[in-house]
Structure 1
Amino acid sequence: APVIVVICAIGAYTVHNAMLDIWFMMVFGVVGYVFKKLDYPLAPLVLALVLGDKAEDSFRQAMLLSQGEVSIFWANPLVGSISTLAMLLLFWPLISRAIAKIRPAKAKDLPQEQPVD
């Protein structure tokens, strides 16, 4: 493992000849270690890093074309359904938590069964 760290540090330094790149390498190494210890999946992080820049540019372009109107994401049925699905997936933890709070409340209101002697 120490050899890998040294090779990564040399590679990070040679790109811009700056110590800041080595600090970034160390910070992201610690972040990666923490994610590994917490069993955080790697695929969403890689997708976010790879596609995040393109998605942000496309979102900005859509907002400029529609003059800030968010309804452009529901103008086309296909895009609208994908946008709705994305919103549902984004807010699903909140929705499921709210549903879980409502369901036990209904079960408490029911009369309890009494044992027959």
Structure 2
Amino acid sequence: MRETCVPTGVELKNTGFGYTLSLIGGKYKMIILYWLYENKVLRHNELKRSIGTISFKTLSIMLKELEADGLIIRKEFPQVPPKVEYSLSERGLSLIPLLHMMCEWGEKDMLSELELAKG
């Protein structure tokens, strides 16, 4: 039998589950990771256009956090105007199976909900 991810009496932040959530939690981080996976390399404005609902400032903050956590790579080109590209690191790529599983679960659950609603 598998032990729980969040044992009783242990703070969430001190578990593998809590650690993972600290890296990818929030409204946009998983979306950013998935867009970078789908497109390999994107610039700031390309990511902003792809996501649509994110502000420039929020995207900048999310990208800095993802870079600091080693999930994405920021490559700056010394030119005028400045050019910066973002891509997934090996560590970031290792999260993609988790994101795929979440997508598959969501698709199955949505279908189940639709079937229940139809009665």
Task: Provide TM-score, normalisation by structure 1.
Answer: 0.27
Bigger relative contact order, structure 1 or 2 (CA pairs below 8 A, ≥6 apart)? 2
Higher helix share: 1
Task: Provide TM-score, normalisation by structure 2.
Answer: 0.27
Higher strand share: 2
